[in-house]
Amino acid sequence: MTEFYSGVQKAFVSVDIIIFGFEDSKLKLLIGKRQMDPGRGEWSLYGGFVGAMESVDEAANRVLFELTGLRNLYMKQVHTFGAVERDPGERVISVAYCALINVKDYDRHLLEEHGVQWVELNKMPRLYSDHNDMVKRAITLLRRRINTEPLSFNLLPDLFTLTQLQHVYEAVLGEEIDKRNFRKRIKSIDFIEKTELIDKLTSKRGAALYRFNKQMYEEDPSFKL
């Protein structure tokens, strides 16, 4: 119960964002090469400092907006990293966030402008400082939650086929899923709606397009895949 402001050093607080996307049936990560010291030229997550007039959550959303031009994306705090020497320059404590975005929504110009690119999760290079640990934690979180929260839709367009949805699960969980069992479970979930629309791009026969009915989910937010 004893706290003193005096005699304690302040620290920089930053946010780093693990941005997952989904393309070609693979999980991808948005990373770039650091354009400044310390760590210039190393692969790194995208991040920024928490300003004086914004909460940490707001800072994360601002930084993500700067990078993607998108707001109201799915984003969750993952973990706070506070080793003394984690940043070689100053004492920086970083709060890691995990965001899910639909790759198609992303503005390719902004991507180049910020010097970031999509990299397959399986081919991820060594990253700056403790950023690899951040990614590892984010994946653990994702795997744990994908069966109890409707996360997967954030990685897909509004309309998607069941095969696409299944590929998201397979990419996140890193294992194959039986098609018939998967579809059986999906059918029992009310808020995944079949539409009348048909996707003809990926198959000759055409596949029914589905939609996540958010409103229906919120009325009865139970989920178990």
Query: Residue from 204, 215, 218, 220 that binds DNA (CB under 7 A)?
Result: 204
CA distance 159 to 172: 20
146-165 mask for DNA (x: CB under 7 A)? ---------------xxx--
Query: Residue from 2, 9, 72, 181 that binds DNA (CB under 7 A)?
Result: 181
Residues 128 and 43 sit within 8 Å (Cβ to Cβ): yes
Residues 61 and 152 sit within 8 Å (Cβ to Cβ): no
CA distance 166 to 181: 11
- Partner in contact with 211, chosen from DNA, its own copies, none, beta carbon below 5 to 8 Å by kind: none
Please state whether beta strands 192-199 and 207-212 pair in parallel, antiparallel, or not at all (unpaired).
antiparallel
# residues near its own copies by CB under 8 A: 46
CB closer to its own copies out of 20 and 128: 128
**Counting contacts by CB under 7 A, is residue 183 touching DNA?**
yes
- Partner in contact with 47, chosen from DNA, its own copies, none, beta carbon below 5 to 8 Å by kind: its own copies
DSSP 3-state of 196: strand
Please state whether beta strands 207-212 and 159-161 pair in parallel, antiparallel, or not at all (unpaired).
antiparallel
The conformation of residue 97, written as its DSSP 8-state character, comes to E
199 strand-pairing partners: 207
CB closer to DNA out of 80 and 203: 203
Query: Residue from 113, 208, 219, 221 that binds DNA (CB under 7 A)?
Result: 208
**Counting contacts by CB under 8 A, is residue 136 touching its own copies?**
no
# residues near DNA by CB under 7 A: 19
Residues 94 and 47 sit within 8 Å (Cβ to Cβ): yes
144 residue type, one letter: R
**Counting contacts by CB under 7 A, is residue 220 touching DNA?**
no
Least spacing, CB of residue 159 vs DNA, in Å: 12
Which segments of 97-130 does DSSP mark as H helices, in order? 108-113
- For its own copies, the binding residues (CB under 8 A) are 1-5, 8-14, 32-36, 44, 46-57, 59, 77, 79-84, 89-91, 93, 95, 114-116
